[in-house]
Amino acid sequence: MADTPAVAYKILTAAQWAQWQETGTFTGAPVDLADGYIHLSAAAQVTETADKHFAGHSDLWVARVDLAVLGDLVRWEPSRGGALFPHVYGVLPLAVAIACAPLTRDNTGAVTLP
């Protein structure tokens, strides 16, 4: 899709981020493996994703993913309320993680993006 963002975000546990760095590829979190694709979020979706799927977790990281490198592996598909979310049908090589930082929030509660 020509009008889709060039980057998306993956919320990871500290262990998942460490393993991605160690192995050089990320094959997915348990929910990704169960669904058959890696769930990502557009910038405007990250806070809701964190609130809905990661409530109570404290060891989280946010990776900025370069979607252009992934090409046809990325599909924007409807999810919550019909909103389009980026899904990756394949593995994420470490090179697509163009930034990664611990998940923090600003004074409004929004996730601060790396």
Asked if residue 103 is part of any domain, the answer here is yes
Tokens of 91: 């593995």
Q: Where are the alpha helices (DSSP H) in the chain?
A: 14-23, 30-35, 46-53, 67-70
Q: Does 26 map to a domain?
A: yes
Q: What is the arithmetic mean of pLDDT over 49-58?
A: 93
Read off the pLDDT band of 1 (50, 70, 90).
very low
User: pTM of the entire structure?
Assistant: 0.94
pLDDT, tens digit, 9 for 90 and up, residues 85-94: 999 999 999 9
In terms of Cα–Cα distance, which of 32, 2, 4, 6 is closest to 98?
A: 6
Residue 1, domain member (yes or no)? no
- Domain residues for the domain of 87 are 7-112
**In total, how many domains does the chain have?**
1
